[in-house]
Amino acid sequence: MPAAETTAPTKSQCRPENLGGELRVALTHISRRLRAQRGEADLPEGQFGVLTVLFKHGEMSPGALAAHERVRPPSMTRAVNSLVELGLVAKVEHPTDGRQVVVTLTDDGVREVTETRRRRDAWLTQQLTDLTPDERETLARASELLKRIAAG
């Protein structure tokens, strides 16, 4: 697919109230396309999110996972139990509190995170190869701005 011709945005398109809506729509579409790139387990995004939290932060209690993902504990319990059934996580005894368990990634869980990320990166990389060098430079600058917005 050849790169599309881009034109400079109008002053109206650059106003925050207009640009905000345009960015929201574009980011939503890209996010959906990225989420469609999944690993072998073809997990719902919420369950994949649990795997990525464990991948990044290490083992956690179900309560800590629920707080991190901003979901209710019963919802997290269901997600964790599904992931246990799939062999992607394991529940192990808490090291200091015998009444609790901690959730940890299995080797299959690590592979699922790695493969899903690889597929998502490959999809996005392919889309970027269809852009001109100038367009990729613009996106590189925009990615820094988007990180600032996300941090705010």
* Coil vs helix vs strand at 9: coil
Note the pLDDT of residue 1.
47
User: Which domains, and CATH codes, for the chain?
Assistant: 25-151 (1.10.10.10)
In this structure, what DSSP letter does residue 10 have? P
* Coil vs helix vs strand at 46: helix
Note the pLDDT of residue 92.
93
Note the pLDDT of residue 95.
84
Note down pLDDT in tens along the chain; length 152 residues: 455 566 777 877 778 888 888 899 999 999 999 999 999 999 999 999 999 999 999 999 999 999 999 999 999 999 999 999 999 999 999 888 888 899 999 999 999 999 999 999 999 999 999 999 999 999 999 999 999 999 98
- CA–CA distances in Å: residue 5 to residues 21, 24, 85, 134: 22, 22, 49, 12
Distance CA 40, CA 86 (A): 11
- CA–CA distances in Å: residue 36 to residues 7, 43, 45, 67, 146: 29, 10, 9, 26, 22
Distance CA 129, CA 26 (A): 18
Long-range contacts of 29-35 (CB under 8 A, 24+ apart): 33/123, 34/120, 34/123, 34/124
What tokens does 92 get?
């192990």
Residue 5's φ and ψ, nearest 5 degrees, are: -65, 135
Residue 12's φ and ψ, nearest 5 degrees, are: -65, -40
